[in-house]
Amino acid sequence: MKIAGAKVLLTGANGGIGRAFADELLRRGAGKVYLGVRNASGQTFPDDPRLEVVQLDVADAASISAAAAKASDVNILINNAGFAAFTGGIAAPSIDAARREMDVNYFGPLQLTRALKESPVFSSAGAIINIISFLGLATLPAAGTYSASKSAALALTRTLRAELKAKGTRVVAVLPVQVDTPMGAGLPEPRVKPAEVAAEALDALETGLEEVFPGHLSKEAAAGFKADPAAVQARLSQFVRPI
């Protein structure tokens, strides 16, 4: 599948990975890119007629419906918007952050995908790219509720891939480790660059890869998990927030 000429709806377009996706989509010749942002106030994007800013809060059903109606001609959906509270399950003062993580990281992509059922996304020319996290595979207890939301997102991605196979829709899971974005500012270095995430995600779509670990760090983590998942989980389980 080629990006050239494609019409794309990109969520979380104002974030680090979102900005990188917008740049890479334009570079590869996308015909139209709807930039889904929760708040467009004060946001600046490249001056390109192929870009259109769309108000989109993936945790709000009415906002999802309005954005899906406006971008009903898209054939590629990139579910990139995310939220991380970096809290444990019991250590957090309440479950409010955990609910927010599930709303943004799991229910948001599910509702937006369903809202686009009548669009070209659901066709042999269509595709969905879900930006997940390596923590969808292995749990970091210090960010336990985020890990849970990303595990749910990975399960959803694999479900969509199976359900949409008959329609020919491509469904790609992108599972980076720590990325150099404002949301990941507190994570250890080195970090994966947002441009690596965007480029390798689109490479995966164009070459037929279903699950991609962008950047050398993510590939190392994936290889370690494949060789000994219990060892990787045991190492991550050392990082626990005090109760």
- Give 42-62 pLDDT, tens digit per residue: 778 889 999 999 999 999 999
Residue 110 near residue 58, CB atoms below 8 Å: no
Nearest-angstrom CA–CA distance, 152 and 82: 13
Domain boundaries, the chain: 7-236
Across all residues in the chain, what is the average pLDDT? 96
Average pLDDT over residues 98-120: 98
pTM for the predicted model, two decimal places: 0.96
State the pLDDT at residue 98.
98
Catalytically active residues, by annotation: 146
**CATH 3.40.630.30 is held by the domain 7-236:** no
Which of 198, 183, 201 has the alpha carbon at shortest distance from 101?
183
User: 58-93 b/e with 16+ CB inside 10 Å = b?
Assistant: bbbeebbebbbebbeebbbbbbbbbbbbbbbeeebe
Residue 191 near residue 180, CB atoms below 8 Å: yes
State the pLDDT at residue 45.
87
At CA 241, angle to CA 236 and CA 243, rounded to 5?
A: 140
- Give 137-188 pLDDT, tens digit per residue: 999 999 999 999 999 999 999 999 999 999 999 999 999 999 999 888 888 8
Average pLDDT over residues 85-89: 95
pLDDT above 80: residue 40? no
